[in-house]
Chains A and B, each alone.
Chain A
Amino acid sequence: MNKADHQTEKSVNEANPGQLPGGTTAGLSAAEYRATVNQLFREHNRALVNFLLARVQSEAEAKDLAQEAYVRLLQLDQPNAVGFLRGYLFRIAANLSVDQVRARISRERVAVELFDELGEPDEIEHRAILREEFDIVCTALHDLPPKCQKAFLLHVIEGYSHCETARAVGCNERMVRYHVSRALLHCRQKLAHLFPNMERRNHDPQS
């Protein structure tokens, strides 16, 4: 076994600290299962991080929770077809990223090295807004009708939930999403001439 295998083997054991009488269960061997989860990581980690980014504050937290999700997936003792496993992985991640559960997880979690032979997932180039961009955004927002402006400001700037925004604006949540999307797209359009290229570095040869 090379070093990386040894480390992931160690993490599987750490994920199941209880000694099960009779050893591991029937079905995939531990090594086969690990390989399956490894494959999930290769194929879906980018999507998993994108997913978590939509639900948490920072990239660091998204990556942390992604790793926690894999740990929990490795605790499954009856792994089935990959199709099911992927859904389950994302469901674990969704549950982990619920606010109150999240705070508790970060206190209790033990750092585990997983899949380190694959290296870091792609870097997400997040930077703060520039003055020039901010001015363009203000101008762009001026173009929009009042309800749209209000929905955008309350939800994106003031941090109101979709529900609170809907009540304040006087529409339903679907319309809030529509207003926010419209505002975002309009801002993007006005900003496009400044930044014609994608801003995320791609290490992934599959992209």
Chain B
Amino acid sequence: MTRNPETSAAQEVRLQAASDWLQRLDEPELPEEDLQAWLKWHGESDQNRQAFEEMQLLYRRLRDLPAEYRRELRQRIPISPTRRSQGWQGLWALAAALVLVIGGAGGTWWWQQGATGALVVYAAPHDQHRAVKLADGSTLVLAQDAIASVQYTRARRSLNIERGQAYFEVTHNPSRPFVVQAGAVRVTAVGTSFNVARADDQIAVTVTDGVVDVVRLPVVDDKSPVQSSSPAAAIEHQRVAMGQRIVFGIASSDSQQWKEAAAAWRNGQIQFVNAPLREVVQAINRYALNPVVIDDPRVADLTFSGTVFRDHVDEWAAALSKIFPVRTVALNDGTLALVSSTDRVGMK
């Protein structure tokens, strides 16, 4: 393969850009504008692509040094001692690295400085969910349109679900509890993975691994639940274990295994098991172009079991009349209303 002759300065610039890109791409949270800029640069010319591939080869060769070479290198190039710590002082820098500007409709972020640790807010855009790696190695996955705030201090890892649904995989650390608050419900995990969904007055906690402690706090007013961790002050205190689900706000009598359901939505599907239509509609309205409303309590109580595909929500809604005794009525503002198709009193 011949390479066209070129000034070495231009090639240097190209290789430098390639090396920089190589590092920038290796960020769990890759900003959209970076991805687009790289696509543009990489696609601009064969030389850019080749430079990228060449530096990538060298980089990986050095990154994957066999252990004995690594040891030898440490001896031959001594560096000043360094302590690798992920203590809370490092959280400022880590939080800055993790916070992203989300372009487009539906996404916002903001960052406040707190006295004991930065408060960082994450939001998922309307059309996809976001995975966030937290400073302690835990993972937060936000569903579409969900918003969560995170505040890590030395003693505690605190999160708040402002809106929507989030899934957590928690790094084990008994001396630093991982506490998620959603409305008046507080979930404490030690080293588990679980899902918290908040929609209006309804909060659902599903555990996919391990055990969490769930407490429903007495609420003084709508905005500020009593910040008491004393169990005596709590109205409800439950342990929820793997495969179990607890729902606050509506009576939930099902004892089905929801473990697969909690994982399913992250793969583009939403699974429902004996879920009343009111709950299904509330969940899918996050993804629907035309929101669905139910006025009729008979319809709201109908239970649905099945899978709705996140990208096919509108078709599902339009097809409801084939599954249930309902009629779908398109209103002027684009909303889809579900009405019982049985007009006679006494019929279900």
Q: A interface vs B, CB < 8 Å? A: 16, 18, 20-22, 25, 46-47, 50-51, 53-55, 72, 75-78, 86-87, 90-91, 94-95, 98-101, 104, 108, 124-129, 133-134, 137-138, 141-142, 146, 149-150, 153-154, 156-157, 159-160, 162-164, 166-168, 173, 176-178, 180-181, 184-185, 187-188, 191, 197-200, 202, 207
Contact = CB atoms under 8 A, between A and B. Distances in A.
Contact of B35 (A16, A87, A134, A160): A87
Contacts of B323: 21
A185 B15 contact: yes
Interface in B300-340: 307, 309, 311-312, 315-316, 318-319, 322-323
B103 to A, nearest CB: 12
A26 to B, nearest CB: 10
Contacts of A188: 15, 54-55, 58
Contact of A207 (B28, B46, B169): B46
Contact of B57 (A22, A76, A126): A126
B228 to A, nearest CB: 33
Interface stretch (B18-26, B177-185, B213-221, B241-249): B18-26
B77 A138 contact: yes
A167 B89 CA distance: 10
Question: Helix, strand, loop or mixed for chain B's interface?
Answer: helix
A51 B62 contact: no
Interface residues of B, number: 78
A138 B58 contact: no
B295 interface: no
Contact of B73 (A51, A100, A138): A138
Contacts of B307: 18
A200 B53 CA distance: 8
Contact of B131 (A20, A98, A200, A207): A98
Nearest to A59: B60
Interface in B74-89: 74, 76-77, 79-80, 82-84, 86
Contact of B59 (A154, A162, A184, A199): A184
Contacts of A25: 312, 315
A125 B54 CA distance: 11
30 contacts: A20-B312, A21-B316, A46-B49, A50-B49, A51-B25, A77-B311, A87-B36, A87-B39, A98-B28, A101-B141, A128-B61, A128-B64, A133-B61, A134-B65, A142-B77, A146-B79, A146-B80, A153-B74, A153-B77, A154-B79, A156-B59, A156-B63, A157-B73, A163-B90, A168-B84, A184-B55, A184-B59, A188-B58, A191-B58, A207-B46
A177 B23 contact: yes
Given A87-B32, A188-B54, 9 more contacts: A18-B269, A47-B43, A50-B42, A75-B309, A150-B82, A157-B70, A163-B93, A180-B23, A181-B16
